[in-house]
Amino acid sequence: MSIIKTIHGNGLALKEFKKSRFIGNVFPVADETEAKSFVEDIRQRYPDANHNVFAYRITGDGNLIMKYDDDGEPSGSSGKPVFRVLELKGLDNVVVIISRYFGGIKLGFGGLSRAYKQTAIEAIDDAGIVEQSSTKEMKVVVDYGNMQFVKHMLENCATILDEHYSDVVEIVVAVAEDKIDELEKLINEKIPDTQIIRL
């Protein structure tokens, strides 16, 4: 079972360096599409910011996706230092976006690097770091009569991601990789007619 270090939730940091304002946002993400979506959301939230610098590291299906962008700041002065924070803290499935409002005083290459790095660190600290075991998704198809019983079992050892109601109830859950066999066996023992599909 693989364990990854990521963040507990969204984080925010507000910093000022020589009259330039830095707004750091961090988000936990599942994939690159989600990371790009957060970057776009922040760009729209702060459309008048001079720069929206970002970096992300994402692991999934055995692949590591890494990207950073200086967004018009001097090359290597901003996106890379933010990315290095993710690397040094060993974080995965995280995107950091830092919006800068220029205050009229140039910070220089070193000053910019320190400002972006410090803002990233504080935003990550605000979010909180957690360790997670890797998960797998499964769909449980159950009749209405057994729905509450199954949901109670699932809530104790899985995260419910989606529910769909038709003539039966379909519940999609994320389960820790090392617990999926145990959960499947337990459901089959208690309610043999329940259909379980590994996604």
Whether residue 156 sits in one domain with residue 116? no
With both helix axes pointing from N to C terminus, report the angle between 144-157 and 180-190 in degrees, rounded to the nearest 10. 150
Q: Which of 117, 132, 147 is the last residue of a domain?
A: 132
Q: Are residues 182 and 158 in the same domain?
A: yes
**Helices and strands: H and E segment counts in the chain:** 5, 11
Question: Are 30 and 112 contained in the same domain?
Answer: yes
- Pick the closest to residue 7 from 142, 128, 118, 104 (CA basis): 128
Does residue 18 contact residue 103 with C-beta atoms inside 8 Å? yes
pTM of the model: 0.71
Tens digits of pLDDT across the chain (199 residues): 467 888 988 999 999 999 999 999 999 988 899 999 999 999 999 999 999 999 999 986 567 899 999 999 999 999 999 999 999 999 999 999 999 999 999 999 999 999 999 999 999 999 999 887 777 788 999 999 888 888 888 877 777 888 899 999 999 888 877 778 888 888 888 888 888 888 7
Cα separation, 134 vs 6, in Å, equals 11
